[in-house]
Amino acid sequence: MPKGKKQGTREKTVSSKSAPSVKSVGPAFVPRIDTEIAGVHFANPVMTASGTFGYGREFAHLIDLNSLGGIVVKGISAEPMSGNPPPRIYETESGMLNAIGLQNVGAKKFLEEKLPFLRTLQTRCVVNVFGYSTEDYVRAIEILNGGDGIDAYELNISCPNTHCGGMVYGNDPKLTEEVVAASKRAARFPLFVKLSPNVTDITVLARAAESAGADALSLVNTFVGMAIDIEARAPRVSNITAGLSGPAIKPVALRMVYQVARAVKIPIIGIGGIATAEDALEFIIAGACAVQVGTANFYAPETSLRVVAGIRDFCKRKRAHLSELIGSLKVPGNLAQK
């Protein structure tokens, strides 16, 4: 079905005495905030991050899902996964630790039970894909290829909350190339690759994913962290370590987006502590053509829509289209190569 959103119009009668002259105000500027990634058109650059928005329907009674640029559903594997035992979430200073462990219904049930609802929406649907081996990733994609209504895949090679797979691929350039190339060959839809920040040089992994055929990059996933209950002298989460997200990681995630934008030619989707339009615009000016809102969905589900409105207002005030802001950071000449 068509994904474009039709907006109704309403006529308003204004008397000649109250109507301002065209010369006095000039033409109204209507900014374009749509963006395109690997041939997929997004009405605006704001998506919800995988693992923070369920399968989308869970938030349908809270916000207008059609006003989002895209929904990235929680990680889907070939077979259902129960995830890690509780406790799995712990609130930290300016952030959150989570070790859910990729709990999901599996690819077949996703097609049968979750995708039909997503297909009724005008917003784009991106399916995050996870596996423990290259064969797992390919198998999940082959099953998902049978679903109409999917616009792209987001290959999760960076999850720090599982004991094998995931981050193992995201830390090794050769394994990154292997799993991205195999997944790209199998994929019916464009392939975005989600990178881990838990590496020495993220540009090395970014180039590896690009050379293997990635259509775009999502960065970054969570940082490995932990918390301890000093009274019990026990970890706060059952997995011992967990993924740190939220405002605390934004400065580091922003730096990584800036570095990768200068290292690759494919589009970048920025993630990490985004809770306001200003946060999102920082990522866009650093080089991202879209962003994802994650942790903020837990405490303020309307955050994504406020970010969309804020980006539109900023562009209107600056009389600039979104495309003019992407990668527009002004860097002094002597620092251009840093």
Q: Mind telling me the catalytic residues?
A: 159
CA distance 121 to 99: 30
Question: What is the DSSP pairing of strand 124-129 with strand 70-76?
Answer: parallel
Residue 145 CA from chain centroid, whole number: 21
Q: Token digits for 171?
A: 């830390």
Q: Token digits for 101?
A: 């462990």
Q: What are the phi and psi torsion angles at 206 (to 5°)?
A: -65, -45
Q: CA triplet 63, 113, 97: central angle to 5 degrees?
A: 60
Q: What are the phi and psi torsion angles at 17 (to 5°)?
A: -75, -35
What sign has the CA pseudo-torsion 142, 135, 78, 129? negative
Consecutive H or E run containing 216:
strand 216-219
Q: Token digits for 190?
A: 């464009």
